[in-house]
Structure 1
Amino acid sequence: MSTEIKEYLAKEAVILDVRTLDEWNEGHIEGSKHIVLNLIPLEVEQIKSWNKPVIAVCRSGGRSGQAAQFLAQNGIDVINGGPWGNVAKEL
């Protein structure tokens, strides 16, 4: 799991946090982007415009998994990073 995260970080992937605003405010990865899961479909073009691979994160990996699946279907190079704290450890 972390090997893939490291590879994506090496490719300057954008970390996309899909948790709620309350969860985000409790703590998040500095420099990561915050788009709540249910808004992802509305923001696909914005995410594509970053022109970078994406690591989706949330609290447990469930919501980031849904986000990653949706983004992959829309042609975005994305992995599910799982819990945001796990990705934070790789930075």
Structure 2
Amino acid sequence: MKSISAEEFNHIKDEVLILDVRSAIEYKTLPKIPGSINVEIDELLSNYQNILKDHTSSVIVTVCNAGNRSGQAAEFLNRHGYNAFVLRGGIYGYKHKFKL
């Protein structure tokens, strides 16, 4: 699985598509990365072609709380021809190093 550190991500975050694969409630109530788009993991896995139809050549970084669901999402997207990375440590790891 391709992954990216919080430091690496911080340098490119404005140039990539950030998919937050947490539930809508988590996305609404917990810290989030500015500019991220919330697509729940189940919705992404079942409808990725429609969701990402305008992003076939984009670099995608998937995020969740700690990296488990986003790792599953990135691995799935890479198997389907996308250029996806998981944010190592998730939002909690990122928040620990950079303010949200």
Equivalent positions of 1:1-91 (< 5 A) are: 1-6=5-10, 8-9=12-13, 12-27=15-30, 28-41=32-45, 42-50=47-55, 51-82=57-88, 83-87=90-94, 89=98
Flag the structure with more relative contact order, 1 or 2, with Cα contacts below 8 A and sequence separation at least 6. Answer: 2
Identical amino acids, percent of aligned pairs: 28
**If the length of structure 2 is used for normalisation, what is the TM-score?**
0.74
Larger radius of gyration: 2
Alpha-carbon RMSD across the aligned residues, in angstroms, is: 2.3
Name stretches of at least 5 consecutive residues in structure 2 with no aligned partner: none
* Paired residue total: 90
**If the length of structure 1 is used for normalisation, what is the TM-score?**
0.80
User: In 2, are the aligned partners of 1:55 and 1:80 still within 8 Å (CA)?
Assistant: yes
